[in-house]
């Protein structure tokens, strides 16, 4: 159960103060009945109306973003732009988090959600959700790199689990890497161990979810129900209802 003013704010983009005012003015209905108490507790599945139109208040939101270079994978920062700064106000009323951070200079698939269970499953050290990256190196990768990645690799503080390295035959500086963990700077550190520097890095997929090529740098959209179900399935979570239903 959630406070009505919070749900109205989440579903309409109004500030909490504006939502309270709208409720007190009798502009809000719950299950078709006019209400006036902003503090009233309402189930996420209750049908809420504002000025006669049904509000969609998803319990959780799941956003895919094509993270641009130079933006932090954080929810707030005093001096630098974060991925949340790229989202419209309506999402900022939620307790959003980034499921699997990318370095400031890494681009590509970023999942942003307020669903703590999914976030936890995707980012926990035990998570085996595969992540696919495209890396461009300062020098060509070769068969010995492939074998080293496949064997797992001792880094300064942990042993990286076996990873799959695919090398582009026509440009061996370009590689696809699939890892099952998400440790800090993992890809860059694995290549560094092989004496190679990652010049650019882009995440293409995570837990079976592929970057939507239509988004473009800095673009975002909510996941489809099928995409959410796919992620839940990969993480061993039960699917829940995404959108509030009318009474």
- 113 scored as a contact of ligand URA (CB under 6 A): no
Helices (H), the chain: 4-12, 16-24, 89-92, 116-123, 143-151, 186-193, 225-235
Q: How far is the CB of 174 from ligand URA (least distance, A)?
A: 16
- 188 scored as a contact of ligand URA (CB under 6 A): yes
User: Given candidates 103, 166, 212, 222, which one binds ligand URA under the rule CB under 6 A?
Assistant: 103
Q: Which of 85, 103, 138, 142 is catalytic?
A: 103
- CB nearer ligand URA, residue 24 or residue 136: 136
- 106 scored as a contact of ligand URA (CB under 6 A): yes
Q: For residue 2, what are its two tokens?
A: 């959630």
- CB nearer ligand URA, residue 11 or residue 108: 108
- CB nearer ligand URA, residue 43 or residue 162: 162
Residue 37 is among the residues annotated as catalytic for this protein: no
- CB nearer ligand URA, residue 24 or residue 101: 101
Q: Which of residues 114-153 bind ligand URA (CB under 6 A)?
A: none
Do the beta carbons of residue 200 and residue 68 sit within 8 Å?
A: no
User: Given candidates 48, 55, 102, 209, which one binds ligand URA under the rule CB under 6 A?
Assistant: 102
What sign results for the dihedral spanned by CA atoms 87, 89, 91, 97? Answer: positive
Three-state SS for 47-112 is CEEECCEEECCCCCCEEEEEECCCCECCCCCCCCCEHHHHCCHHHHCCCCEEECCCCCCCEEEEEE
- DSSP 8-class letter at 225: H
- CB nearer ligand URA, residue 48 or residue 102: 102
Q: How far is the CB of 223 from ligand URA (least distance, A)?
A: 21
Rounded distance between C-alpha atoms, residue 132 and residue 109, angstroms: 10
Stretch that binds ligand URA, among 46-54, 181-189, 209-217, 221-229 (CB under 6 A): 181-189
Radius of gyration of the chain from Cα atoms?
A: 22
- 201 scored as a contact of ligand URA (CB under 6 A): yes
Do the beta carbons of residue 179 and residue 94 sit within 8 Å?
A: no
Residues identified as active-site: 103
The site for ligand URA (CB under 6 A) is made up of 102-103, 106, 185-188, 201
């Amino acid at each position: 159960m959630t406070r009505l003013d919070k749900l109205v704010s989440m579903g309409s983009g109004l500030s909490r103060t504006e939502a309270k005012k709208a409720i007190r003015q009798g502009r809000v209905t719950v299950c078709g009945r006019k209400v006036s108490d902003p503090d009233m507790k309402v189930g996420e599945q209750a049908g809420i109306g504002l000025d006669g139109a049904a509000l969609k208040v998803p319990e959780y939101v799941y956003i895919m973003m094509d993270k641009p270079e130079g933006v932090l994978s954080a929810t707030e920062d005093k001096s630098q732009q974060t991925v949340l700064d790229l989202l419209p106000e309506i999402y900022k009323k939620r307790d959003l988090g980034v499921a699997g951070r990318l370095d400031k200079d890494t681009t590509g698939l970023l999942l942003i959600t307020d669903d703590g269970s999914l976030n936890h499953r995707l980012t926990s050290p035990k998570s085996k959700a595969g992540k696919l990256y495209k890396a461009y190196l300062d020098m060509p990768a070769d068969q010995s790199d492939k074998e080293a990645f496949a064997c797992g690799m001792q880094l300064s503080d942990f042993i990286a689990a076996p990873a799959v390295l695919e090398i582009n035959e026509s440009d061996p500086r370009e590689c696809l890497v699939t890892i099952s963990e998400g440790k800090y700077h993992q890809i860059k550190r694995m290549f560094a161990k092989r004496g190679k520097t990652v010049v650019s890095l882009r995440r293409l997929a995570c837990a079976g979810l592929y970057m939507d090529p239509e988004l473009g740098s800095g673009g975002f959209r909510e996941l489809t129900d099928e995409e959410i179900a796919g992620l839940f399935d990969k993480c061993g979570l039960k699917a829940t209802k995404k959108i509030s239903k009318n009474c």
